[in-house]
A and B are shown apart, each in its own frame.
Chain A
Amino acid sequence: MLKLEHIRKAFRSGRDIVLALAGIDLALDRGDFITVIGSNGAGKTTLLNIIAGTVLPTVGRVIVKDRDVTTLPAYRRAQWIGRITQDPLAGTAPMMTIAENLALASKRAHRSLRLAITRRTRREMVEQMLSLGMDLEHRLDDPVSLLSGGERQALTVTMATLARPEIMLLDEHTAALDPANATKVSLLTQEFVERMGVTTIMVTHNMEHALALGNRLLMMNKGEVVYDFSEEEKKSLRVIDLVDLFSKQHIVDDELLLETS
C-alpha cells in the first residue's frame, strides 16, 4: 500500500544542515495501523510531510499503491491520503460555515458548477453532526472560527471520513485537546479507520495509546527508526518498557554529547 525507500531529508538552517531523516525504509500493507513514538525533533512530522507530499525528500522514493509518487504534488496525493495534525486550525476553513466545510470535504474529484449544498446533503450533515454528540447539528451555519478546538478537531475527523482516504496520517491529533475531548476524538478516529480498514500511521506522545492501538509500533530517534515492534512483541510491552527504551536513547545521546564536547 505504502512504501518508503531510503528516505533521507536534510534541512538547511542558517549555515548548519539538519538531518531530519537519516534513511528510513518502511512498508505498510493495506489495513496496517502503525503507531509512532519518539522524542521531540525525532523526525516524525517530517516523515508524515514526506508521505503527504508537502515536503520533498532529499534522497529516496515514496511509493503508494505500487506507483512512484515521490514528486507528485500534495494536492494529487490527497486522493488517497488524508491527514489530521495537532493544530485544530489546520484542518478547517475558519471563515466558512460548518456546512460549507463539510461540503468541501465530501467532494474530492471533479468539482463542478453545481450547488455545493442541497437540501439532501444538509440532511446528511445533520446526521453526521448528530453522531458526534457535540450539539453541532444546530450550528451548521456558524462559521467554524466560533468552534472550540475540540469541536473543530472532531469536525476535521468527520471531514476526513467523508473523503474516504485509503491512507490516514495522524500527527498527535489529540494533543491540543482536553482529556475528555481527546478521548472522544481518538475514539472517533479509531472507529473510522477500523471500520473502513484504512492504512494508518499515528504519531503520538501517549505511550498507552501507542501500545493499545494498531498492529505495529515504531520508535524514532534522530531521524531513524530505532525500534520496530510487531503486533506480538507489542502485546508483551508495557508503558514502563517504552519509558526505559526512551531514557536509554537519551543516555546514549548524552554520552555522545560528552564525547564530542
Chain B
Amino acid sequence: MALILIHATEQGLLYGIAALGVFITYRILNFPDLTVDGSFVTGAAIASSLLVTYGFDPFLVLLIAFAAGALAGVVTGLLNTRLGITDLLAGVLSMIMLYSINLRIMGRPNISLLRTDTVIRIVKRGFQPLGNVSVLVFVAIVTLAVMLILVLFFKTEVGLVLRATGDNERMVIAQGVNTKRMKVAGLALSNGLVALSGALVAQYSGFADVGMGVGTIVTGLAAVIIGGSLVHSREVVWMATSILIGSLLYRTAVMFALRYGYVIGFQASDLKLVTSLIVIIALFIPAFRERMAKRVKTC
C-alpha cells in the first residue's frame, strides 16, 4: 500500500512536469496545443536512443530532450503565426509529423532501457542508505526545481509579457511586443517541458514506446483541472502548485483503479476513456453552473 503511494507520487511528479507544459499553453497562452502528444514521445525517444545506441550521459540526454521538444513547439508556433494555420490544426499537424520522426529517432516502435544506466539507477546507487525513498526524493527535487524556475520566469519582464499575450494580445502589441514571437517562445517552453517529462518517464519506467504519448494533452488537462478545482488562485505559484497536486491525485487514482478496478470490471485499456470523461465533466461544470445561474436570474 505504502509502495503504491510512493510510486503514484513519483509518477505524479514526473508527469506533473508535462502537466506544467500543458498549463503554459492551455491556461497562460490560451492556445490548446496538441503537439504535446508527440513531443512527450520525442523526449522519451531521444533520451532512450541516445542512451542505448550512443551511450550518452543520462543527465545530458534530459537537456537534449528538452531542446528537441522546444524545437517541436517552435514548429507548431511557426505553423500558427507565420502560415496562419489555426492553433488546433497546427498542433495536430506537428503531432502527426512527430509520430514519423519519433519512429525515425527510435528506429523501432520501442526501446528497452533495462540494460543501460539511467538517472534513476544512478540515484539509487548514489543514495543507497535512503533505500526506497531515494528515487522519490530525487524526483521531487527535480520537479520542484522545474516548477520554481517556471514560477520565477513568470515574474520576470519577459514572463509577464508571455502571460499578457494570452490574456489580451492586442494590448501587448500596443506595448510594442511582437506577440507572434512570444507565442512561439511559449510553445517552445511548453513542449520542452513535456519532452523533458517524457525523457524522465522513459528512464523511470525503463522503456520508450512510440505510443506512450497518446493522451498527454488529456492527462495534462486532467491535472490542470483537478488542481484548479482545489486551489482558487491567480497567483502563478499557487496555480503551478495546484497542477502538481492535481497530477499527484490523478496518478494515485489511476494506480488504485489499475490495482483494484477489476472488481468493477475496469481494465487498463479503459484508462483513456475514463480520463477523457473526467475532463469532459470538469470542462462542462463551469458552463453548467453559468446556465443554472442564468436560469435562476430569469425566474
- A and B together in one complex: yes
Residues in A with CB closer than 8 Å to B171 are: 90-93
A96 with B167, Cβ < 8 A, contacts A78-B174, A108-B176 known? yes
**Complex: how many Å from CA A111 to CA B164?**
13
CB distance from B179 to the nearest CB of A (A): 7
Query: How many Å from the CB of A19 to the closest CB on chain B?
Result: 25
| A76 vs B170: C-alpha distance when bound (angstroms) | 13
Asked if B295 is at the interface of the complex by the 8 Å CB criterion, the answer is no
- Pick from A78, A79, A113: contact of B156, CB below 8 A: A113
Are A115 and B156 interface neighbours, CB within 8 A?
A: yes
Scoring B159, B173, B174 by chain A CB atoms within 10 A of each residue's CB, the highest score goes to B174
* CB pair A78 B164 closer than 8 Å: no
Chain A residues in 8 Å Cβ range of B158? 111-113
CA distance A99 to B167 in the complex (A): 15
- Which residues of A sit under 8 angstroms from B175, Cβ to Cβ? 78, 104-105, 108, 163
| B173 / chain A contacts, CB cutoff of 8 Å | 54, 74-75, 78
Chain B residue at smallest Cβ distance from A141 = B235
Q: Cβ of B282 < 8 Å from any Cβ of A?
A: no
Within 8 A of B (CB), among A94-144: 94-97, 100-101, 103-105, 107-109, 111-117, 143
Q: How large is the interface on B (under 10, 10 to 19, 20 to 34, 35 or more residues)?
A: 20 to 34
Task: Decide yes or no whether B161 CB sits under 8 A from chain A.
Answer: yes
The answer to whether A95 and B234 have CB atoms under 8 Å apart is: yes
Cα distance, A116 to B158, chains bound together (Å): 8
A143 close to B234 (CB less than 8 A) = yes
Residues of B within 8 A of A100 (CB): 160, 163-164
Task: Please state if B174 and A115 are interface contacts (CB–CB under 8 Å).
Answer: no
Per the bound structure, the CA–CA distance linking A24 and B170 in Å amounts to 26
Cα–Cα distance between A111 and B163 once the two chains are bound (Å) = 14
| Candidate in B161, B163, B175 with the most chain A CB atoms within 10 angstroms | B175
Known: A79-B176, A117-B155. A92 touches B168 (CB 8 A): yes
Lowest 8 CB-CB distances: which A-B pairs, in order? Answer: A78-B176, A93-B167, A111-B157, A93-B164, A116-B160, A93-B168, A113-B156, A116-B157
A-B contact pairs, 13 of them (CB 8 A): A54-B173, A75-B178, A76-B176, A90-B170, A93-B168, A100-B160, A101-B164, A103-B157, A107-B157, A108-B176, A112-B157, A113-B153, A116-B156
